[in-house]
């Protein structure tokens, strides 16, 4: 089996509104509805709607020979329901073709796998339920953790939840001389297949496509197929994993990114011996060549492919630790708004905005952040968290008083 596996991440966080120190104890609503709606509608027009229409066209044109997979975060699905029902409907149409696979992740795009097995499992179950509710009973078989974060222990947790496979980064420092173009298995539970992103070919599309200083600019379908054909024949699977916003948002329509994707399936199907498969098809159809050992968590972010985009400095660690100190208290409280805010505050983006990395990856972090500086992001988040702590303690005291 020589196959290409396209996977797209679809995610939008609930961004926090400007929240001052003087709002603590006075204002208990944290979310910037105006900004969130505007971002979703903008990306819908530039990416989601035109790209979904193109994929639907390609799936019909090639009668199911072209396939893709998505993981759509729960926070994104919530915003589709609130601000972009037309986008949600277009994803539902894609899934209804039977040639688009949906993956599970944590509902709130959380980093819970690094802190709490219980919270991680609850968020995964909530995402399962949301997918089942919105997509006609669909039940995913493959898991994609937030930011492709993976370790042996995280893989074992995912295996315990009943998944067939997990996606992660083909990090050089983990693979060494090995290739990402094979199926591997979890080091603790070998029943879980591990699919690794081919970061070079993925990033050629996601990051370098419009870079005129890139030695291989412009990227054409013929050139891309030639690279696929140059892969040793014993290497069976090329996993192309990327943010869905690559199409139209990060790489504007004017770059030719949509036309590239329009012609890529035909170029691959006619010009190579590669087919297209979904992650579950890859996991089912290819045997694992060996276990992959990942003792320290990896991700798909930055040059290091580690956790430092989210948990790399004192601000990030302080915010993350303070948030999860509340877990036991929150679980004792039966309150819809507190539960919602607890989950939305876990979204990885909030910690990403606090990143102080510079040099090669600094501009990428600035591009995604609504804040002027990482310090502004930290202060705003901690102001909100301070109010949330007061609410949790007050609600818990009220709950315990009623119980007594």
pLDDT (tens digit per residue) in 253-287: 999 999 999 999 999 999 999 999 999 999 999 99
Confidence (pLDDT) at 73: 98
Mean pLDDT for 92-101 is: 98
Q: DSSP letters of 312-368?
A: SSHHHHHHHHHHHTTHHHHHT---HHHHHHHHHTTBHHHHHTT----GGGHHHHHHH
Contact residues for 253 (Cβ-Cβ < 8 A; gap 6+)? 46, 50
Mean pLDDT for 144-160 is: 98
Residues labelled catalytic:
147
Among 7, 9, 6, which Cα is nearest to 348's?
9
Q: Cα dihedral sign for 327, 82, 103, 2?
A: negative
Among 380, 395, 386, 367, which Cα is nearest to 20's?
380
pTM for the predicted model, two decimal places: 0.95
pLDDT level of residue 400 (50, 70, 90 thresholds) = confident
Strand partners, 292: 186
Confidence (pLDDT) at 361: 46
Mean pLDDT for 205-218 is: 97
pLDDT level of residue 303 (50, 70, 90 thresholds) = confident
Confidence (pLDDT) at 272: 97
Angle among Cα 211, 175, 356 to the nearest 5 degrees reads 55
pLDDT level of residue 401 (50, 70, 90 thresholds) = confident
Identify the residue with better confidence: 388 or 369: 388
Among 14, 12, 48, which Cα is nearest to 246's?
48
Mean model confidence pLDDT for the chain: 95
Q: List where CATH 3.20.110.20 sits in the chain.
A: 3-292
Instruction: List strand residue ranges (DSSP E) for 84-198, in order.
Output: 100-102, 142-144, 165-169, 183-186, 193-197
Confidence (pLDDT) at 366: 57
Mean pLDDT for 169-187 is: 96
CB 170 within 8 A of CB 190: no
| pLDDT at residue 367 tops 90 | no
Among 249, 140, 236, which Cα is nearest to 196's?
236
Confidence (pLDDT) at 403: 60
Q: What is the 3-state secondary structure (H, E, C) of 34-71?
A: HHHHHHHHHHHHHHHHHHHHHHHHHHHHCCCCCCEEEE
CATH 3.90.1300.10 fits 3-292, yes or no: no
Among 373, 370, 392, which Cα is nearest to 17's?
370
pLDDT level of residue 1 (50, 70, 90 thresholds) = confident
């Amino acid at each position: 089996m020589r196959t290409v596996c396209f996977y797209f991440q679809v995610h939008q966080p609930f961004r926090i509104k400007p929240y001052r120190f003087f709002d603590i104890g006075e204002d208990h609503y944290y979310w910037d509805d105006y900004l969130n709606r505007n971002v979703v509608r903008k990306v819908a027009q530039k990416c989601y709607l035109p790209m979904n229409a193109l994929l639907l066209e390609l799936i019909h044109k090639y009668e199911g020979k072209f396939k893709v997979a998505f993981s759509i975060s729960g926070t994104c699905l919530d915003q589709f329901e609130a601000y972009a029902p037309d986008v949600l409907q277009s994803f539902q149409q894609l899934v209804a073709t039977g040639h688009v696979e949906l993956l599970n992740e944590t509902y709130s795009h959380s980093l819970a796998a690094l802190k709490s097995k219980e919270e991680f499992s609850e968020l995964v179950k909530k995402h399962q339920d949301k997918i089942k509710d919105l997509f006609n009973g669909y039940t995913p078989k493959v898991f994609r953790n937030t930011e492709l974060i993976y370790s042996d222990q995280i893989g074992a947790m995912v295996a315990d939840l009943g998944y067939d496979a997990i996606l992660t980064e083909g990090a050089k420092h983990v693979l060494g001389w090995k290739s990402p173009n094979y199926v591997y298995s979890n080091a603790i539970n070998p029943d879980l297949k591990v699919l690794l992103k081919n970061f070079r070919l993925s990033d050629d599309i996601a990051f370098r496509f419009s870079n005129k200083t890139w030695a291989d600019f412009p990227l054409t379908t013929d050139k891309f197929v030639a690279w696929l054909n140059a892969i040793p024949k014993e290497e069976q699977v090329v996993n192309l994993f990327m943010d869905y916003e690559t199409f139209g948002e990060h790489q504007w329509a004017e770059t030719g990114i949509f036309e590239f994707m329009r012609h890529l399936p035909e170029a691959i199907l006619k010009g190579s011996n590669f087919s297209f498969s979904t992650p579950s098809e890859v996991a089912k159809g290819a045997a694992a060549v060996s276990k992959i050992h990942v003792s320290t968590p990896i991700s798909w972010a930055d040059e290091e492919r580690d956790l430092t985009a989210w948990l790399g400095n004192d601000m990030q660690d302080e915010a993350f630790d303070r948030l999860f100190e509340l877990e036991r208290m929150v679980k004792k409280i039966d309150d819809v708004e507190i539960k919602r805010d607890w989950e939305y505050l876990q979204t990885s983006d909030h910690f990403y905005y606090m990143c102080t990395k510079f040099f090669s990856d600094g501009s990428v972090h600035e591009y995604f952040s609504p804040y002027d500086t990482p310090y502004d992001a930290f202060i705003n988040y901690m102001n909100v968290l301070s109010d949330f702590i007061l609410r949790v303690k007050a609600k818990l005291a009220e709950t315990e008083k009623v119980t007594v």
